[in-house]
Amino acid sequence: VGESQRHEFQAETTQLLNIVAKTLYSEKEVFIREVISNASDALEKLQYQFMTGKDVAENELPLEIHIATDQEKGTLTVKDHGIGMTRDELLDNLGTIARSGSKAFLDELSEIGQGDAREKSIIGQFGVGFYSSFMVADRVDVYTRSFSPGSKGFMWTSDGSGSFEIAEAENVSRGTKVVMHLKEDYKNFSIKTTVEDTIKKYSNFVGFPIYLDGTCINTIQPLWMLDPKDISTEEHEEFYQFIGKTYDKPRYTLHYKTDAPLNIRSIFYIPETLPQLFTVQHMEHGVSLYSRKVLIQSKAHKVLPNWLRFVKGVVDSEDIPLNLSRELLQDSALINKLSDVLSARIVKFLQQQQKKDRVKYEKFFKDCGTFFREGIVSTNSDEMKQEIAKLLLFESSHEKAGVLSSLPVYTSRMKPTQKNIYYLCAPSREVAETSPYYEALKKDDVEVLFTYNEQDDITLHYLSKFEGKSIMAAENYFSVDREVKSAESVEETQADQSSDSLTEEEAKELVDWMSIILGKQKVSLVKVSKHLSQTSHPVMVTVADMVAAKHWLKVMRAE
Ligand code: ADP
Ligand code: MG
């Protein structure tokens, strides 16, 4: 093997610019987010200079972002009075693709042990965002002057095809002004309303005032970053209406902040009005994902499990690794973790609400219970199933009609001898109470939960256990549990000897006749049972797997 030589990769700048500008971002409109984020970073860095007592040129200039549209010229201009750039910085930061002056700034701070506080607010890190302006502009002019007193103003200009020019410029104030000359196809970004919508979508919560053609447009604060105690009900309502694009009020509000196991700043709202049942299946997710107050994904469908799609809100996490274009979430394990943490917190919150205001909760359960049922059926985690199960409410044989009981309440009332949890699915309370399946349980003084919709039936079937106790359909009590018992006790009780009962011979005749009439396809066995001698029902149908059977019947009926 000969001596090896080291080579640097060569980059075809024109190509690279093309990749960044044309293929990195899926939505053209995000260039506005990128340029505003840079302005915000520049203001953030200037604030740091103030804080550390540095001399700042033109220190009376406000820390604001000004955006101007000019439809006639077809331009969009974004101006800040932030830190600005010297000639060298211009060369470095805007002349090197994938070099981030912001990242370098943060690295410097963390070297001197000051990183943490600022780090939370600086948005840039990849050094490509600026070039997204070339998706929509065929020329970009940057006017800039550094904050350090005595600095000169410069103008940088490029058509994004591989080269740029820098010249000294007169009358440039501290900070940076980016003028984008829009391509023919993207002149709509010089229309005020288009720009306003885009800013509100992505950059509404940026930490500095944003003025569009002279009017401040980001008047709503990023509430999720504040201390929960500092937020009034009215502020929550306004914020909820803003993010939910709605006019109702939140019925529940959960403001959740934590630093472990992940950094999370979040607010969740449960709306007063929910979509009609038939649209529930196709309901969009209501939570948006932010990172450092900049929108990453609206209607983010991975941040909460599907069954929680009725929850609206905002989740901001610095720990979610973003890719270059910010739009894709890279680490799915981390997103899953985020989703687990958040859903556990929301479920716990709802459990607390059940205790806190029962009347309100029952109304909520009536409106949203179907989502919990979906949660139990769809979630893989047994632990989570158990937690969601605590949110369910049922009528019970122990209580009057209209009174609802939860599973924990049911189990607390179980006698030591009772092994299983029983429920009976029927069209109404009346039918349930006169059901032969119920009669047996009633006789043995075993509490039964009454459910009146088929969803409950499937849900409990999926849940299968609660607090370690099996959940059984009442039908099973008769066919399985009683059978076991009967071996010990029922046999001993003398069959009713009254005159209207059948003789053994008559009974055999009846059984034979019924077996023939019904046939093997309908029943597997007809037999005389002594169990019924204790109830008021002459005949009963039992099925090994009642839930499956009922479903099968339903499917057949639908066909
Ligand atoms: P990033 O923001 O990820 O660092 P960008 O491509 O958006 O990457 O910007 C590159 C660099 O250019 C920034 O890190 C910053 O140093 C500099 N820059 C861009 N816009 C401004 C501005 N408005 N004021 C000062 N510096 C800026
Ligand atoms: Mg940037």
DSSP bridge pairs for 396: 449
Exposure class string for 319-331: b at 16+ Cβ within 10 A, else e: ebebebbbeebee
| 265 Cα to the center of ligand 1, angstroms | 26
pLDDT, mean of residues 306-310: 94
Q: Are 169 and 155 in contact (CB under 8 A)?
A: yes
Q: Are 424 and 473 in contact (CB under 8 A)?
A: yes
The predicted model scores a pTM of: 0.84
| 511 Cα to the center of ligand 2, angstroms | 83
Residue with tokens 């009347």: 359
Higher pLDDT, 495 or 196: 196
Determine which helix (DSSP H) or strand (DSSP E) holds 540, and give its type and residue range: none
**Closest C-alpha residue for ligand 1 atom 27:** 38
Ligand 1 atom showing the smallest separation from residue 131 Cα: 6
| 43 Cα to the center of ligand 1, angstroms | 11
Ligand 1 atom showing the smallest separation from residue 39 Cα: 23
Ligand 1 atom showing the smallest separation from residue 125 Cα: 3
Q: How far apart are CA 75 and CA 431, in angstroms?
A: 72
The answer, yes or no, to whether residue 117 has pLDDT greater than 70, is no
Q: How confident is the model at residue 480 (pLDDT cuts 50, 70, 90)?
A: low
Q: Which ligand is nearest to the CA of 102?
A: 1
| 97 Cα to the center of ligand 1, angstroms | 11
Higher pLDDT, 227 or 276: 227
By the 10 Å C-beta count (0-12 exposed, 13-18 middle, 19+ buried), 294 is classed as buried
Tell me the HSE value of 299 on the side-chain side, using a 13 A CA sphere. Answer: 5
Per-residue confidence (pLDDT) for residue 494, from 0 to 100: 45
Q: How confident is the model at residue 67 (pLDDT cuts 50, 70, 90)?
A: very high
Q: Are 346 and 254 in contact (CB under 8 A)?
A: yes
Q: Are 477 and 437 in contact (CB under 8 A)?
A: yes
Tell me the HSE value of 104 on the side-chain side, using a 13 A CA sphere. Answer: 8
- Which of 24, 36, 130 to mutate for ligand 1's pocket (most ligand atoms within 8 Å of CB)? 130
CA 229 to mean position of chain CA atoms: 24
The answer, yes or no, to whether residue 549 has pLDDT greater than 70, is no
| 408 Cα to the center of ligand 2, angstroms | 52
Q: Which ligand is nearest to the CA of 146?
A: 1
Per-residue confidence (pLDDT) for residue 321, from 0 to 100: 79
CA 223 to mean position of chain CA atoms: 17
| 5 Cα to the center of ligand 2, angstroms | 36
Per-residue confidence (pLDDT) for residue 533, from 0 to 100: 59
Distances (CA, A) of 326 to 31, 55, 298: 12, 35, 12
The answer, yes or no, to whether residue 196 has pLDDT greater than 70, is yes
Exposure class string for 211-227: b at 16+ Cβ within 10 A, else e: bbeeeebbeeebbbbee
| 264 Cα to the center of ligand 2, angstroms | 23
| 90 Cα to the center of ligand 2, angstroms | 14
Q: Are 133 and 140 in contact (CB under 8 A)?
A: yes
DSSP at 480: I
- Which of 37, 93, 166 to mutate for ligand 1's pocket (most ligand atoms within 8 Å of CB)? 93
List the structure tokens of 213: 């053609």
- The torsion angles phi and psi of 163, rounded to 5 degrees, stand at -140, 160
Other beta carbons within 10 angstroms of residue 363's beta carbon come to 12
| 117 Cα to the center of ligand 2, angstroms | 19
Q: How far apart are CA 118 and CA 133, in angstroms?
A: 26
Q: Which ligand is nearest to the CA of 99?
A: 1
List the structure tokens of 504: 């053994």
Tell me the HSE value of 51 on the side-chain side, using a 13 A CA sphere. Answer: 9
Q: Are 125 and 100 in contact (CB under 8 A)?
A: yes
Residues 72-109: tens digit of each pLDDT: 999 999 999 999 999 999 999 999 988 999 999 988 88
Per-residue confidence (pLDDT) for residue 559, from 0 to 100: 47
Q: Are 296 and 205 in contact (CB under 8 A)?
A: no
Helix 454-463 and helix 358-378: axis angle, to 10°?
Answer: 60
Residue with tokens 């915000």: 40
DSSP at 143: E
**Closest C-alpha residue for ligand 1 atom 15:** 101
What does the mean pLDDT of the chain come to? 89
Residues 527-543: tens digit of each pLDDT: 777 666 556 677 777 66
DSSP at 329: B
**Closest C-alpha residue for ligand 1 atom 4:** 100
Per-residue confidence (pLDDT) for residue 369, from 0 to 100: 93
Q: How far apart are CA 472 and CA 447, in angstroms?
A: 12
Q: Which ligand is nearest to the CA of 131?
A: 1
Torsion of CA 287, 291, 297, 300, to 10 degrees: -30
By the 10 Å C-beta count (0-12 exposed, 13-18 middle, 19+ buried), 380 is classed as exposed
Name every protein residue with a CB atom under 6 angstroms from any ligand 1 atom. Answer: 34, 38-39, 42, 80, 82-85, 93-94, 100-103, 124-130, 176
| 34 Cα to the center of ligand 1, angstroms | 9
Ligand 1 atom showing the smallest separation from residue 94 Cα: 12
List the structure tokens of 246: 């709605």
**Closest C-alpha residue for ligand 1 atom 2:** 124
| 38 Cα to the center of ligand 1, angstroms | 5
Q: How far apart are CA 80 and CA 165, in angstroms?
A: 21
- Which of 44, 48, 102 to mutate for ligand 1's pocket (most ligand atoms within 8 Å of CB)? 102
Per-residue confidence (pLDDT) for residue 318, from 0 to 100: 87
Distances (CA, A) of 81 to 35, 63, 192, 351, 393: 14, 6, 22, 49, 58
Ligand 1 atom showing the smallest separation from residue 178 Cα: 23
Q: Strands, E, within 222-364: which ranges?
A: 250-258, 264-271, 286-291, 294-297, 312-316
Task: Of 199, 196, 147, give the one whose Cα is nearest residue 176.
Answer: 147
| 30 Cα to the center of ligand 2, angstroms | 11
| 42 Cα to the center of ligand 2, angstroms | 10
Residues 424-456: tens digit of each pLDDT: 999 999 999 998 889 889 989 999 999 998 889
Q: Which ligand is nearest to the CA of 132?
A: 1
Residues 236-254: tens digit of each pLDDT: 999 999 998 889 999 999 9
List the structure tokens of 20: 């960044």
**Closest C-alpha residue for ligand 1 atom 13:** 101
% the chain with pLDDT above 70:
89
Measured between its terminal Cα atoms, the distance across the chain in Å is 75
The answer, yes or no, to whether residue 165 has pLDDT greater than 90, is yes
Residue with tokens 């709509």: 188
Q: How far apart are CA 261 and CA 468, in angstroms?
A: 29
Q: How far apart are CA 352 and CA 252, in angstroms?
A: 11
Ligand 1 atom showing the smallest separation from residue 80 Cα: 23
- Which of 33, 38, 66 to mutate for ligand 1's pocket (most ligand atoms within 8 Å of CB)? 38
Q: How far apart are CA 87 and CA 167, in angstroms?
A: 9
Q: Are 448 and 396 in contact (CB under 8 A)?
A: yes
Q: Which ligand is nearest to the CA of 125?
A: 1
